[in-house]
Structure 1
């Protein structure tokens, strides 16, 4: 019989600066790991203070409180007979590092600083931390007195080392280090490390999990070994949602996987492995030749065996003992469809935001269009998740739900019905004008009835008229819509005042509706502008797209339509067919026999085209000219070069002149890799030379010279 070892990794819903709550969740995860017989437990990145502290990492208080939390962990019996990999910031020689602290039996074995920092996209780790550049080197770190009093240690190793137990060797890798071309696990594995830990703060993005899974499998496929991946989960206090999904990989296979989306604050994933399987995987001669010449790591020796006891060949009749934890074997990793990711990720994010903000619910201006419909369905999905967790007696979810709806702590109330719970915490409102249609009003009301939201319906013409008359009284002229002979400036101003008044009304009702219903507190206003409209700037600044948070602000119109179609079936909401078949319209201009306002006509481009523009601009880092050259190849079969040139120029002109709107975007759930969120993700100017004279001139010159290869029918002009 081989050496059986039970290992545990975890996903914790930590919250930035919530040291008390974070401590409780860490201790709970260690306790669960020990109950399953695990002798190694791994937690997420920076789990003590929370990953998203941002500039609070520069404060000495954050480091101090992290040491205080670690002192509490070490002073109890939690770390007895188990090795724990715990994350926190550490100041070493006046330099702040993102570290893993490896502890065992109330002692610190090693402080391992992160060597490659995440510093792009949503991440700014180098703003707060410094990478440890002394690879395979270590120094003495002198511990603070609060730790010395507990561990009786004065100093501990600090640096790039590995842990050597009686029966195996453990190496530490931190988040970004897995994603780098020269990952540390390669050198560690060649030097005999058999078990790798990775503590991450990796956010959810649509279709991203596949990349993470493939990296874990690849890390152990050629090298051999066991890889424990831990991750933060939940809303840490910002725009991103950390999607958990702790995993254990072995020899190129995922053998244990946690939930990607869950309301559970603490999830522990464990598996029992035979370390001899790793050793047999590593018998190839080429690997052995590379390992024989590998540069050595300093080993921190600990007199402790991860395998639980002594055993010999059971077949011979000798006695043996071992502790087996939860053993899991997967044939393949589990993935959600993108539509299901939209249903679950933003819903979990909304739940965390609601319960931690201490608000009484959400408010949405329900327009009858697909965007506010998607926001409402995501809230309904959140209610479904709450009802499901309540049916499984999740004590934390029950406590939060009772507090939010105003029930006492000792209440017997159980939010077992999603529609009933939705009626208590979700409020919707249709704000009509003379430009609104009966169809949108009907769709909004029917959707609210179907999902159970507390719905109100109002006409705001008197407000719009009052503002319009005020302007006429002050200036002596009365603006008119274009269909009534007004100028473009008048037409736009009259549209915008309707949109901005809706924002004012939304906040009024959000503050007072709980009072109307006999409750205290207020509601959070949800926005409903999608990522493509933000990219194009197709919304009114400070209109009802301005809100407290926006669950769909990072999701494309294309994906939202697919999500609504998915929800129609999976949530049993037949009303959604009407939203899918409706033409997107703002309904801000009068409807006439010859004109009905339509979003794509107003924008001068389709939503599908916007998704392509967004991907090329952000993900592929294209400026106007390089975007044009790429699209000539992608669209050249159905559009002439001059047509493509006009589309590209029009996009960049509108994007540039509306870029200032990005600075006031409602904080939105990050979901797409091409989000234009100015405040964190897409750091670009907001004052542009919007006609791009140099770039556009080059595009025009090249477009005029290129042959037209599009297949446009008999009227096509041959230029070849």
Structure 2
């Protein structure tokens, strides 16, 4: 038997904080050594942090990475253990994303990334060059200070593997696993048994299964040990890296770390018999045949043994059942952990949330409550770093620390109901009850006096006073009156966030939380610079339908019972007067349901549909319920308001990224913000197609089998969706 013990990590790194990152790396090595591991794998670009972005273009960033690596190699950190460290490296005039593989205070090999992530949230080609020379290593001259310190002038640089006396080990960096022809395929044929994947992979709802299936598939038919390490936490941007460090052997998961955690360092250990890899490969005829005519991959010899022989004291890791979180749990724990990282690293003293009593702001409040529960739980479990941060933020004294989530929330969380004459007693009551359940410091701030003062000023300047539509006013007047309320709430929120700590003799400032969801952003159903404008937004990339499910889950699992009533209420912005014969409803204002919006968003972004191709697809999907003309009207209506309101995406509050159809302009959805909203060419094409199809219904089998996501409901009440929120029907302002 060739027994091998390996360690892989979740590390909560922070872009450009080299002290923090180096501390976490050292702690992970200590834990790996204490467990007896002989391989330690860390995340991609762990020394600098993955999210440095344009800081990667600065020479300082690369130089500081070498300084940190030198500290790791001068000490005894790599003695007796193979360590893979991620950092940027400049070779000649090119900059590469590299894994530096070290052992016994020497650099054995520098492995540059060959296939760079360059779509969605990733821009690696902006900062790095892909390594293209696959046939041989080149000699990399180490920086002078490193060379003198290590007494090592150069190191092999390129694609290949390390041949030890008893096994072969190779790196496969993040994106390379997901390429059409991944490196591990030919590496396995060359005898590599251990694959190390250092990753910087972000959380997205329902995404983890794709990642785990890739690890399993990599070794199921080829055999091998697949180690996966990932960042975990918010490293300074919109993404939350969701950990899940894992070890897979011959297609079986044998070790899995947490997906969401407040820990800075988590080390996952696995104990493996490498003879099981050799046995599987020897039993597959096709593997043997392909290995006999393989393309040769260059390698570096390392005259060390990594394995132990037969040892009864070493228990082998057994296959595990994969642990998945439900989408509702992902919404609770992902944004909750992200908020904690943001709070503790920003220097803020807490959060302030405009709480309307509606579904969206109540979801944000519940996520903050979940964060408080996680903090108390981790402190009870003995996490000293969480305890230190919580004592500082909550301003505990005399040895006290958080032991109750509601008491902790009272110290770090303000909620404010900013009601007007258009607000209902129900939403006011829900906001108060939910605040009490969470434990926040809750305020009731009427805004009618401020609205009246602004309208009086306007009347003094112009001689006119606008009226709501239900009172005989025009659409322009109605919209203006709604926007005044919405923007006043933004101004009040920031004023309270900056001054309430002073009122309560607390140092620092509070961060204002936003609560617009991804569907409202896509449609532009929000006022520019209203209370959707905030410091950060934990739900800005989560759909209304997912938020409804989360509210139902949180009512039970987070013990916030009032969320059940909030979820059951119809969605309304509460910006117009309530009359016996009129109530403002979101879906009526938008002219589309939230369920339809999710479909439009996925087709526009994920499936890259313009107006014409979206019309064609929806004719097939909705053909059993709608005529082509009805589909055409819906598609035109969406694209009209999407394009009119696209400019709002340029000022969206930075949001936790959770959904792949997010319209967020600054990082993820790179489209222009000035459109011809009439779409003359595209809409004319749709009209031509409608004329061809007019009167016919598209019947291609049961529509429920064609698209399980689509279930069209007509009118405002067809879906029975969630409670009041901060959205409003603002079109272009």
Q: Give the equivalent residue in structure 2 for 1:400.
A: 389
Task: Measure how far apart 1:323 and its partner are.
Answer: 7.3
Distance across 2 between alignment mates of 1:604 and 1:452: 37
Distance across 2 between alignment mates of 1:300 and 1:423: 58
Relative distance call for 1:466 and 1:240 in structure 2 (3 A) is: same
Written as runs of structure 1 = structure 2, the 5 A alignment for 1:313-462 is 324=314, 328-408=317-397, 411-462=398-449
Q: Give the equivalent residue in structure 2 for 1:232.
A: 231
Query: Does the 8 Å contact 2:272/2:317 carry over to 1?
Result: no
Matched, 1:84 2:58: no
Query: Does the 8 Å contact 2:255/2:320 carry over to 1?
Result: no
DSSP 3-state at the match of 1:227: strand
Task: Measure how far apart 1:708 and its partner are.
Answer: 3.4
Task: Measure how far apart 1:412 and its partner are.
Answer: 2.1
Distance across 2 between alignment mates of 1:358 and 1:322: 51
Q: Give the equivalent residue in structure 1 for 2:298.
A: 298
Q: Give the equivalent residue in structure 2 for 1:704.
A: 691
> Which structure 1 residue ranges, 4+ long, deviate > 6 Å from structure 2?
none
Distance across 1 between alignment mates of 2:508 and 2:363: 26
DSSP 3-state at the match of 1:239: coil
Query: Does the 8 Å contact 1:36/1:324 carry over to 2?
Result: no
Query: Does the 8 Å contact 1:9/1:247 carry over to 2?
Result: yes
Written as runs of structure 1 = structure 2, the 5 A alignment for 1:463-612 is 463-612=450-599
Written as runs of structure 1 = structure 2, the 5 A alignment for 1:180-199 is 180-199=179-198
Task: Measure how far apart 1:331 and its partner are.
Answer: 3.4
Query: Does the 8 Å contact 1:468/1:478 carry over to 2?
Result: yes
DSSP 3-state at the match of 2:621: helix
Q: Give the equivalent residue in structure 2 for 1:204.
A: 203
Task: Measure how far apart 1:580 and its partner are.
Answer: 1.1
Written as runs of structure 1 = structure 2, the 5 A alignment for 1:664-683 is 664-683=651-670
Distance across 2 between alignment mates of 1:329 and 1:146: 45
DSSP 3-state at the match of 1:362: strand
Query: Does the 8 Å contact 1:37/1:324 carry over to 2?
Result: no
Matched, 1:120 2:108: no
Q: Give the equivalent residue in structure 1 for 2:254.
A: 255
Distance across 2 between alignment mates of 1:233 and 1:696: 45
> Which shifted more, 134-143 or 187-196?
134-143
Distance across 2 between alignment mates of 1:109 and 1:575: 59
Query: Does the 8 Å contact 1:619/1:673 carry over to 2?
Result: yes
Task: Measure how far apart 1:136 and its partner are.
Answer: 3.3
Query: Does the 8 Å contact 1:553/1:670 carry over to 2?
Result: yes
Task: Measure how far apart 1:285 and its partner are.
Answer: 2.3
Matched, 1:307 2:307: yes
> Which shifted more, 627-636 or 296-305?
296-305
Task: Measure how far apart 1:328 and its partner are.
Answer: 3.8
Distance across 2 between alignment mates of 1:340 and 1:185: 33
> Which shifted more, 97-106 or 132-141?
132-141
DSSP 3-state at the match of 2:33: helix
Task: Measure how far apart 1:523 and its partner are.
Answer: 0.3
Query: Does the 8 Å contact 1:368/1:444 carry over to 2?
Result: yes
Query: Does the 8 Å contact 1:10/1:266 carry over to 2?
Result: yes
DSSP 3-state at the match of 2:445: strand
Instruction: Give 5+ residue unaligned stretches, structure 2.
Output: 700-733
Q: Give the equivalent residue in structure 2 for 1:49.
A: 48
Query: Does the 8 Å contact 1:447/1:575 carry over to 2?
Result: yes
DSSP 3-state at the match of 1:230: strand
Distance across 1 between alignment mates of 2:304 and 2:265: 27
DSSP 3-state at the match of 2:97: strand
Task: Measure how far apart 1:164 and its partner are.
Answer: 1.0
Query: Does the 8 Å contact 1:163/1:169 carry over to 2?
Result: yes
Task: Measure how far apart 1:710 and its partner are.
Answer: 7.6
Q: TM-score normalized by structure 2?
A: 0.94
Task: Measure how far apart 1:233 and its partner are.
Answer: 0.7
Query: Does the 8 Å contact 1:9/1:268 carry over to 2?
Result: yes
Relative distance call for 1:50 and 1:141 in structure 2 (3 A) is: same
DSSP 3-state at the match of 1:282: helix
Distance across 2 between alignment mates of 1:416 and 1:124: 42
Query: Does the 8 Å contact 2:620/2:698 carry over to 1?
Result: no
After superposition, give the CA deviation of every residue in 1:668-693 in whole Å (9 maximum; x if it has no partner): 00001100010000000100111111
Distance across 2 between alignment mates of 1:266 and 1:413: 25
Task: Measure how far apart 1:245 and its partner are.
Answer: 0.2
Query: Does the 8 Å contact 2:514/2:531 carry over to 1?
Result: yes
Distance across 1 between alignment mates of 2:119 and 2:299: 33
Task: Measure how far apart 1:485 and its partner are.
Answer: 1.6
Task: Measure how far apart 1:473 and its partner are.
Answer: 0.6
Q: Give the equivalent residue in structure 2 for 1:650.
A: 637
Q: How many residues align?
A: 698
Query: Does the 8 Å contact 2:223/2:277 carry over to 1?
Result: yes
Q: Give the equivalent residue in structure 2 for 1:27.
A: 26
Distance across 1 between alignment mates of 2:543 and 2:70: 46
Written as runs of structure 1 = structure 2, the 5 A alignment for 1:259-298 is 259-283=258-282, 284-298=284-298
Distance across 2 between alignment mates of 1:330 and 1:654: 51
After superposition, give the CA deviation of every residue in 1:210-259 in whole Å (9 maximum; x if it has no partner): 00000000000111100000001100100010000000011111111000
Task: Measure how far apart 1:324 and its partner are.
Answer: 3.6
Q: Give the equivalent residue in structure 2 for 1:109.
A: 108
Q: Give the equivalent residue in structure 2 for 1:316.
A: none
After superposition, give the CA deviation of every residue in 1:284-328 in whole Å (9 maximum; x if it has no partner): 2221111111122222111211113x55xxxxxxxxx58748x54
Task: Measure how far apart 1:702 and its partner are.
Answer: 1.3
Q: Give the equivalent residue in structure 2 for 1:630.
A: 617
Q: Give the equivalent residue in structure 2 for 1:144.
A: 143
Matched, 1:69 2:68: yes
Distance across 1 between alignment mates of 2:135 and 2:385: 43
Task: Measure how far apart 1:137 and its partner are.
Answer: 2.1
Distance across 1 between alignment mates of 2:34 and 2:165: 22
Relative distance call for 1:323 and 1:229 in structure 2 (3 A) is: farther
Q: Give the equivalent residue in structure 1 for 2:648.
A: 661
Q: Give the equivalent residue in structure 2 for 1:616.
A: 603
Query: Does the 8 Å contact 1:37/1:323 carry over to 2?
Result: no
RMSD: 1.3
